[in-house]
Structure 1
Amino acid sequence: MADLHVRDDVRKFLEMLEQMGGKAAHEGTPAEARMAFNMMTPLGDLEPVDLAVITDMHCDGPAGRIPLRYYDARADRGDSPVILFLHGGGFVIGNLDTHHPFCTSLAKALDLPVVAVDYRLAPEHPFPAAPDDCEAAARWVASNPVALPFTPTGLVPCGDSAGGNLAIVTARALQKEPADVPVVAQFPIYPLVDSQGEYESFRECSEGFLLTAETMEWFGKHYAAEAGNERNDVLHQDLAGTPPTVVVTAGLDPLRDQGEAYAAKLRDSRVSVREMTADGNIHGFICIRKMIPSSQQDIDQMFVLMNETLEEVGAK
């Protein structure tokens, strides 16, 4: 930790976790890890932002109903692009509630409707259940369903960590086989893009910064994605034609370097990219704003870049 820049509030949070002890995710069962993540949300994150509309709904998926949650700062919304939010959690943990506070902030700051997707989780539903559900939800939203009180004009996949991976995978799927409305931008936040690569950030940050190498291995074992599969290791695919993108990384994240490599490859592929690193912060910071108050500054900066991208594509 001494060789890397660590913010004061991040250091205090990590020291608190160490003093508390308890099981890491990989030391228990998926059910135990899910319960711990669910309990952390009210303790670690800010209160949800008040919005005009927060509604639970669902769509049909390849294996049954997919729970969704619709957010909007406006009670009356006309034709509009829509953000499809895909939560993080290593494809094993997380749900609509763990990322509920952030989704309310996202809808408010970008002044766009947000539809969050509760896709199936591993190990009960290993790869490719998650990308299958996310693609199905994206196509449903794009189809202008009567359940939505506005007319979608474009899709903006967004997600953190595993959800960042799924946002990219979903955008690629709809690039290959277009939905009823186009993907106009994508916003992956500290995404997993290369499950097989070796990166300096992985060696630097594999212990002591919340997300560890052992936990990542545990997630990957449960998710059971094929190495090199284009719906998982997205860094090694042809990125030409990717929509304008905001890539967010964290300085103390094992995934930092692969996120930066993805942004670099997008630029090499002549894709419009805005990139930021939350220097001195850790993986997962969008869900621990109460415990790490400086995370809100990172999120504010991220929202500025997202709004600039939306203005670029005429979505604002």
Structure 2
Amino acid sequence: MSRELDPQIAQLIEALDRGFPAVHTMTGAQARATIRSRFVAPTAPEPVAALEDRSVGEVPVRIYHPAGHSRPLPVLVYAHGGGFVFCDLDSHDGLCRDIANRLGAIVVSVGYRLAPEHAWPTAAEDVYAVTRWVSDNCAALGADAGRIAVGGDSAGGNLAAVTALMARDRGGPALVAQLLVYPMITPDFATESYRRYGTGYYNPAEALRWYWDQYAPNASDRTHPYLSPLHAELAGLPPAVVVIAGHDPLRDEGLRYGEALAAAGVPTLVRRFDGGIHGFMTMPSLDLAQAARAQLCRDAAALLAGAPARG
């Protein structure tokens, strides 16, 4: 792929960047209210076969069943992005509907508790708890207990990676894949991609620093494997697909994590979309977003079928 900014994004980037709220000047509640006020639900959401809102303990979940597939189905536990501070089941509803239908899988979207009111490790424990619940309730869900995956974008990519670690360390559930979409992997702000893309590319470095400050205010926590998976022993994890946006401050940490997984013997496929910016997959009007969604689901389908994804 070209290393230039995607042409459609290039036409929008100034407006996108100018419109990004100064969340680093806000409280968590203010940031959530600001982001929520900008959300416009689609008038005709993509149909799915069934949708259910329920709770797992204190954690709301939304369960999507795809149309036109017979049970038992594979299942993806999905953690939304939003810097650990904002976004919710509604913000990622369109993406989860699309993944469910493209993948032919049940998607369980997790409304994990948000920082700063619920700092680390609450969000990670919430996603892991829902993953355990899914494993324990596969029969009722119409899901195949042998085909459970975790995934997420941005902060949710961190939570998915950490859930995979927790599942390995805590004796289950067994996972067949982890889908990490431009994940927040480690609070390292000195990378080349932070330097190049920390301003002017919609997801500014000052916001990213603020996200980590809300989620993990104690510096001593920031090298814990369940906060920064780069500090973990990675052998024995499920196969991974790592989606990278080229014009993203998080590019380098995502690439480092993909390299570290592969070095630990974890089957890992890194998909680079060099023209993309952080968050582009939740912008469905972009051709690049549609291409990336299709590729991610092809890769995930291969892993859920027990076959290696192909580069």
TM-score (normalizing by structure 2): 0.90
Aligned partners of 2:176, 2:151: CA distance in 1, in Å?
12
Unaligned runs of 5+ in 1: none
**1:7 corresponds to:** 6
- Partner-residue secondary structure (3-state), 1:168: helix
State whether residues 120 and 129 of structure 1, in contact with CA within 8 Å, keep that contact through their aligned partners in structure 2: yes
Q: Could you tell me how far 1:311 is from its partner in structure 2?
A: 2.9
**After the TM superposition, which residues 109-258 of structure 1 pair with which residues of structure 2 at under 5 Å, given as runs?**
109-144=102-137, 148-150=141-143, 152-179=145-172, 181-196=173-188, 198-224=190-216, 226-258=221-253
Q: In structure 1, which of residues 45, 49, 72 is the aligned counterpart of residue 46 of structure 2?
A: 49
Instruction: Report the AA paired with residue 210 of structure 1.
Output: Y
State whether residues 73 and 104 of structure 2, in contact with CA within 8 Å, keep that contact through their aligned partners in structure 1: no
Which structure 1 residue ranges, 4+ long, deviate > 6 Å from structure 2?
none
TM-score (normalizing by structure 1): 0.89
1:281 and 2:273 correspond: no
Q: Could you tell me how far 1:42 is from its partner in structure 2?
A: 3.0
**2:99 corresponds to:** 106
Q: In structure 1, which of residues 279, 286, 309 is the aligned counterpart of residue 303 of structure 2?
A: 309
1:129-148: per-residue Cα shift (whole Å, max 9, x none)? 10111111111111126763
State whether residues 251 and 279 of structure 1, in contact with CA within 8 Å, keep that contact through their aligned partners in structure 2: yes
Instruction: Report the AA paired with residue 11 of structure 1.
Output: A
Aligned sequence identity (%)? 35
1:205-253: per-residue Cα shift (whole Å, max 9, x none)? 0001111110011111111261101111101211111111100010011
State whether residues 224 and 231 of structure 2, in contact with CA within 8 Å, keep that contact through their aligned partners in structure 1: no
Distance 1:145 1:208, change over 3 A: same
Unaligned runs of 5+ in 2: none
- Partner-residue secondary structure (3-state), 1:294: helix
State whether residues 38 and 97 of structure 1, in contact with CA within 8 Å, keep that contact through their aligned partners in structure 2: no
Q: Could you tell me how far 1:18 is from its partner in structure 2?
A: 5.0
Distance 1:310 1:155, change over 3 A: closer
Q: In structure 1, which of residues 258, 261, 270 is the aligned counterpart of residue 265 of structure 2?
A: 270
Distance 1:240 1:282, change over 3 A: same
Instruction: Report the AA paired with residue 302 of structure 2.
Output: E
Instruction: Report the AA paired with residue 186 of structure 1.
Output: Q
Distance 1:245 1:46, change over 3 A: farther
**1:25 corresponds to:** 23
Instruction: Report the AA paired with residue 212 of structure 2.
Output: G
Aligned partners of 1:201, 1:133: CA distance in 2, in Å?
30
**After the TM superposition, which residues 58-73 of structure 1 pair with which residues of structure 2 at under 5 Å, given as runs?**
58-60=55-57, 65-73=58-66
Distance 1:215 1:47, change over 3 A: farther
Aligned partners of 1:277, 1:145: CA distance in 2, in Å?
33
Q: In structure 2, which of residues 75, 78, 88 is the aligned counterpart of residue 82 of structure 1?
A: 75
Q: CA RMSD in A?
A: 2.3
Instruction: Report the AA paired with residue 26 of structure 2.
Output: G
